[in-house]
Amino acid sequence: MQGAEFLARTFEAYGVSHVFFVEAILRKSLVEMEALGIKRVSAHSEKAAAYMADGYARVSGRPGVCMSQSVGAANLAAGLKDPFLGCSPVIALTGRKPPLARYRNAYQEILHQAMFDPVTKYNALLDDMVQAPFLLRQAFREAVSGCPGPVHIDVMGILGEVTDNAQAPTQVECDELFAGYPPLRPAPEAEAIAAAAQLLQEAQRPVLVAGGGATASGAGADITLLAEALAMPVATSLNGKTCIANGHPLSLGVVGSYSAWCANQIVYEADLVFFVGSHTGDQVTNAWSIPAPGTKVIQIDIDPTELGRSYANAVSLCGDARTTLAMLKEALAGANKKEAWAAKAQERVAAWHAEKEPLCSSGAVPIKVERLCQELTEFLPPDAVLVADTGWSGIWTGTMVYLNHPGQSYLRAAGSLGWAFPAALGAKCGAPERPVVCFSGDGAFYYHMGEMETAVRCGINTVTVINNNSRFGQCHAGVNKAYGDRQGNRAEVYTFGEVNFARVAENMGCLGIRVEEPDEIAVALAQALASNRPALVEVITDPQSQAPQPWTPPLKGV
């Protein structure tokens, strides 16, 4: 068969239902994909295509596929930064001109393969279709194995036309085990389980911190059961937010720099911190200030190189989170509960809620963002997927939007502003039967607002909520601090002109609703979800609303 048919049939065998791309790349392959029922989503930028594939992968548990021609490869590589940081299995394909064109000033061509090295687990050249069977199998294997992540394959022809037309093997090969993640669930040694169980029993103030690895493993129910068995409070990273229901008595909320202060305080006061599937980076630890220095640490991770990376481990557990937690729960049967510690944690959480309640119920105009978050909490269906951008969108949704149903999912940007809207479109493709709601600030939405046309053209019916304060809200304080007492046009750095996004959405074929009164939010959200079309709800919020600031331990001696 031709290369085009081979590529399409390989994707079909691995269960790929959508590909996200910018014309022009692998045109004959796209024709073959259509014949096999694979949906083609043509985006308006390569970064958006990568973000769509990322959202698709995170919600479906299967690799997302994105593609671009040679001239767009640098943009596609930039788009892979977020799935790389977010540990998401994305497979990227790009085209390149044949060897004879190299080093001769070929139009639109640079040597781009090296750009993919920092943002992929696997970066390969497909020079001849005889390589295709093992390169494609390895791409899927690398993407989903261990800690998931992006891979890249560079095919022949600036549009992939050489690969499309080449003679390919007649037999498509698929390792079905690696069509989704996690493909394997390794378990730690029994001795390590016993040592960890002993430390958890001895601890007076243990806290479990769940990260994105726990979410990827589907370990939420096991985390809740273990926490209940010990009466152990649970904090999460943003990626681990749904590992325990926000309304659960043992839930502390998100910890770190995008956090609720109650979570930071309790984790800091713990005498044992149990990290489950967390990279222990600076965000979840508030620049490595939490937990306190010298606190005992147990860590579960499927990647042995992560064990002890930021904190020396008292016990390291190398294995799948769900498998390891089930073993621990069995080893801790009958253990004493830490009820006094749990009660203290509950008091802090209650104080947090009491502090925020007046803002959550505020009738002020412009609308307080806390009120928007409260309305969103009450609106989200039990099976909703909430997709949040980075910056203040991550803080607002992480701390103030409560997900209390086990069927709800939370996807957040790993750092790239503007990620959420295209990622939400990809998520809807990966879970078409579920309501998908995007939460974005106006500054983030500007990046890829053109993809509203993509949503309409492709029938991708998401609900997008724009927190519109006509500025980069997170930058406001920093710019003012930089100016100090100096005069100048500081607003020029972080403010935008007024734009009616609802009207723009309507002009692009979406449902657009503009909300200026807090009592209108619930009706607008319900109308958007019921419309069965791409919908945008623009909420005009108070520019003075400040996202929650993290609690930071006092400096010693101060």
Q: Do 200 and 132 have their domain in common?
A: no
* Residue 351: inside a domain: no
For the chain, the farthest-separated pair of C-alpha atoms sits apart, in whole angstroms, at 73
DSSP for residue 334: T
Q: Could you say which residues of the chain have pLDDT below 70?
A: 556-558
Contact 459, 532 (CB under 8 A): no
Q: What is the per-residue pLDDT across 213-270, written as a single tens digit (0 to 9) for each?
A: 999 999 999 999 999 999 999 999 999 999 999 999 999 999 999 999 999 999 999 9
Q: Do 204 and 165 have their domain in common?
A: no
User: Residue 283's closest CA among 257, 306, 251?
Assistant: 257
Copy the structure tokens of residue 113.
Answer: 């393969």
What is the structure's pLDDT at 558? 47
Cα(359)–Cα(371) distance, integer angstroms: 6
Q: Do 150 and 257 have their domain in common?
A: no
Q: Among 178, 209, 230, which residue terminates a domain? A: 178
Domain holding 86, by residue range, is 3-178
* Residue 549: inside a domain: no
What is the structure's pLDDT at 556? 66
| Helix orientation angle between 369-379 and 521-530, rounded to the nearest 10 degrees | 40
User: Residue 445's closest CA among 406, 427, 484, 471?
Assistant: 471
* Residue 485: inside a domain: yes
Q: Among 313, 346, 379, which residue terminates a domain? A: 346
Q: What is the per-residue pLDDT across 474-517, written as a single tens digit (0 to 9) for each?
A: 888 899 899 999 999 999 999 999 999 999 999 999 999 999 99
- List CB contacts of 187: < 8 A, sequence separation 6 or more: 319, 320, 323, 324, 327
Count the neighbouring beta carbons within 10 Å of the beta carbon of residue 316.
20
Query: What is the total count of domains within the chain?
Result: 3
Q: Do 367 and 340 have their domain in common?
A: no
Q: Do 277 and 230 have their domain in common?
A: yes
Task: Read off the amino acid at residue 541.
Answer: T
Q: Do 274 and 395 have their domain in common?
A: no
DSSP for residue 541: B
Q: Which residue has the tokens 């209940």?
A: 228
DSSP string covering 375-444, please? Answer: HHHHHS-TT-EEEE-STHHHHHHHHHS---STT-EEEE-SS-TT-HHHHHHHHHHHSTTS-EEEEEEHHH
Cα(25)–Cα(8) distance, integer angstroms: 13
